[in-house]
Amino acid sequence: MFLSFSPVLGNSWDVFVYSLFQERVYGLFEQVCGMFILFCFMTTLTLFFVLNIRLLRHVRSTSTQNCILRMTLGVSSILFFRKLLGMVLR
């Protein structure tokens, strides 16, 4: 006789094993998804900053425009990171 993963049978051992299995699998799945999303975000953010730094080198603009652009990019990146981190940690 093998152990069933269905709690429908009503056996307390089956329900215990099923709930333990479910917690471990879903917990691992959430961690892997969270790390993947964080990795994608950090890669995108790094590429975004590298491309913008290269763009700022080639565009002739005043120091005020550069400062405003960098502040806007920084604030939007921080807000996006906070939102993403809040979604991952839920």
**34 within a domain of the structure (yes/no):** yes
**5 within a domain of the structure (yes/no):** no
**68 within a domain of the structure (yes/no):** yes
Which residue carries 């890669």 as its tokens? 43
**81 within a domain of the structure (yes/no):** yes
Domain assignment of residue 46, given as a range: 10-89
- Cα-based distances in Å from 79 to 34, 37, 56: 18, 16, 22
Conformational region of residue 3, where left means phi above 0, alpha means psi within -120 to 50, and beta covers everything else: beta
**40 within a domain of the structure (yes/no):** yes
**73 within a domain of the structure (yes/no):** yes
**16 within a domain of the structure (yes/no):** yes
**2 within a domain of the structure (yes/no):** no
Conformational region of residue 10, where left means phi above 0, alpha means psi within -120 to 50, and beta covers everything else: left
Stretch 15-22: mean pLDDT, rounded? 70
Position with higher pLDDT, 32 vs 4: 32
> Average pLDDT, whole number, for the chain?
70
Position with higher pLDDT, 58 vs 45: 45
DSSP alpha helices (H): ranges in the chain?
A: 12-58, 63-89
How many domains are there within the chain? Answer: 1
